[in-house]
Structure 1
């Protein structure tokens, strides 16, 4: 996942490529927002594409028989299905400042859908994720199986960017070889991505026939994106959305930037400790909320563990990292996101704004204020931080993406007994912290119950075992 500096470079590159693609005079002439909102087209939908789970050994290439990064979660046991669809049509091209570069450019892409099998278990809300491509392939960054399936959401991953679609084409030419989001190479800086994202939302709202959600009745569609994708969605909201039909009911920008424009659609920004680097913040408003989570990492343990076997299956191996500190914070950002999605749905449907949250305490130089254990102060403090059994932070350093992984250093027996003396007192501290977060609206009951269950597994007779709820 990328830094704001890298994101800025991508945006600049987009402007340069856009100018080259259309010619300088044409580009300058078109960098004027539309005078009236343009309607968003409904794309052609094909699917479900045959093969929805890994494992047809009779295929010449087993990759052709299932979607990229198909989940290994037993969705049927949860009353869910996974299906893939192709979307095609023509899209408009925009640069990073909202300039209209071209209209009616042909494209063809795919979406991956994980949804309740029946209307009775669907909560009516779709989480439409702009797939993150920083790793060089589509990443289900915000697919959190436990929280999403138990609440009855539908989740849709949208392949909108050249890097992700290009990797798909190479991974399975038979399945993805005719996908293209560049207009035949004319727009290689993702100028079509904004309109493709919008058109996917229109497809999501259709019913029957080849509709991605079959006959499920959709009440609310939330646009969600993490890190690099949050940056793309910020451009979308600030520069493109004012010119087009509104197709999303709310926006969740996770571990990344948030829009600065005051629009009619509510925006919820949730940041890990990693992402907070300045004491200066935008103010909450009647259309904007910002939450910061102490101890959580930009890319933590749960996501890494979920994706590892999928990458081994689909790429042959998963990356290993040699970080300066033990990596992967186990503070479960997914717990806070589960609460945030419920608040954002209520906000979009009924105008009920989410609760505010205290910011992390940040020194003037951008470092976090920490206690004697090394834990960040302020912010939303889940029980994994308020009643810790390990040092979890959002900071790390070293090779590659290490700076995004945070740290996790379990406390030894001596430290645990210094903090709690008895396991019963520790369990009580977890219950107290979770009760406080439930009351404030930062945590859902199911996650609090799991935290309490996991607290009973911590071994006070030896080295602390990892809390299962730290996921």
Structure 2
């Protein structure tokens, strides 16, 4: 599985297991189409057999299980399954004792196909089957139109305890990032009314403008399709709460999610994080310097806010306490409004954005490749500007620590992440 964050399950008191899951999946058609307001009516279209891969990470000791399971729709934009939700949340998942389940839901992850986000134009991937045929040759995926029911069946096995070694969760949360968030938009709007509270809540990290299409049998879904490139809201009558977490870079550029921005409701909330990119140095780890984007990629602590979002969603579905209300990033004419330094105004503001020595933003570097367009930028403020902002290192650190405290107090970062946030301070940059 593609991940810059090693699972290190044993060190966290966790075990990892890999399973083959087989059955018959249903594809859907939309009666009335995939309309912009999200109130869709799905009905069964066809069925096909499948055999896919599921990865489970759970506490080794049953007594350490929190009762919450996070089911991730694995991301295939790189051409192989990537556990992006795990990469952003593994500290929160393991310290809380949650179970994590990664589902190989899409055709490309299982059997290969065209790569959406690559530094090589026209790249293709081999999928699990082509990468390790000895291990995965028995896997069969009937196409992404069946992925939604495949995900449902995996969740039912989680809720029954079948995939968790007999552990039966009290809460089951669905989560997905980027292309997987597109998929969850489709799932919430069309499938959730059919399965009603199979999932207790949904965490959508970095959704785009639209939703994943209902692909024809044998075909992958495409983010170039009309359904993905036209505005699609989350239906406001969903039975389970939905928390959407958007980076500044998601609003414009490749994802253009600004066109699907919606007001908060009793069941749908949105957090917007200023200075953050769709993907960043934390997402890709040591490979960030190999992308060749012509600029340092974004290094905002987006993952800290995402961990707070997971905790907020868990609290919301457990006791009804809604998440904090996020200020929105300021926009005008479809563009992000910025201050004189180029830093976005409004939104959730992490300490390195509020007390800057760099301009952190979703604005990409000069490389026009799709992957570089997603990674934003980190551009150092001129030394003279830094000197004008801070009279001393002590002043800088005091302001940085105060910004950290404000973020935690507002509910957009967890107290457990204080040291991680303070680690983004750069007092050596102050003369």
The separation in 2 between residues aligned to 1:68 and 1:155, in whole angstroms, is 16
- SS of 1:285's equivalent in the other structure is coil
Q: CA separation of 1:108/1:275 partners in 2, compared to 1, >3 Å: closer, same or farther?
A: same
The separation in 1 between residues aligned to 2:196 and 2:263, in whole angstroms, is 27
- SS of 1:232's equivalent in the other structure is helix
CA contact (8 A) 1:279 1:361 kept: no
| Aligned residue number for residue 392 of structure 1 | 360
| Aligned residue number for residue 114 of structure 1 | 57
Shift of 1:371: 1.0
Cα RMSD after superposing both structures:
2.2
1:338-383 Cα deviation digits (max 9, x unpaired) = 111111111112221111111000011x111111211100000011
More displaced stretch, 221-230 vs 121-130: 121-130
The separation in 2 between residues aligned to 1:196 and 1:279, in whole angstroms, is 29
Shift of 1:244: 3.1
Kindly indicate whether residue 6 of structure 2 is the aligned counterpart of residue 72 of structure 1.
yes
Q: Which has the larger radius of gyration?
A: 1
1:234-265 Cα deviation digits (max 9, x unpaired) = 11111122223531110111100462342111
CA contact (8 A) 2:4 2:285 kept: no
1:334 maps to which of 293, 297, 303:
303
The separation in 2 between residues aligned to 1:169 and 1:249, in whole angstroms, is 33
The separation in 2 between residues aligned to 1:349 and 1:74, in whole angstroms, is 28
- SS of 1:359's equivalent in the other structure is coil
1:83 maps to which of 6, 13, 17:
17
Q: CA separation of 1:340/1:99 partners in 2, compared to 1, >3 Å: closer, same or farther?
A: same
| Aligned residue number for residue 152 of structure 1 | 97
The separation in 1 between residues aligned to 2:96 and 2:400, in whole angstroms, is 23
More displaced stretch, 374-383 vs 269-278: 269-278
TM-score, normalised with respect to structure 2: 0.81
| Aligned residue number for residue 165 of structure 2 | 214
CA contact (8 A) 1:422 1:460 kept: no
More displaced stretch, 406-415 vs 389-398: 406-415
The separation in 2 between residues aligned to 1:415 and 1:150, in whole angstroms, is 40
CA contact (8 A) 1:279 1:363 kept: no
Kindly indicate whether residue 262 of structure 2 is the aligned counterpart of residue 282 of structure 1.
yes
| Aligned residue number for residue 178 of structure 1 | 138
1:419-460 Cα deviation digits (max 9, x unpaired) = 2221111111111111111121111012123323553x6314
Kindly indicate whether residue 193 of structure 2 is the aligned counterpart of residue 242 of structure 1.
yes
TM-score, normalised with respect to structure 1: 0.74
Q: CA separation of 1:415/1:73 partners in 2, compared to 1, >3 Å: closer, same or farther?
A: farther
The separation in 2 between residues aligned to 1:95 and 1:135, in whole angstroms, is 28
- SS of 1:174's equivalent in the other structure is helix
| Aligned residue number for residue 427 of structure 1 | 397
The separation in 2 between residues aligned to 1:392 and 1:298, in whole angstroms, is 12
| Aligned residue number for residue 46 of structure 2 | 102
Q: How many pairs are equivalent?
A: 373
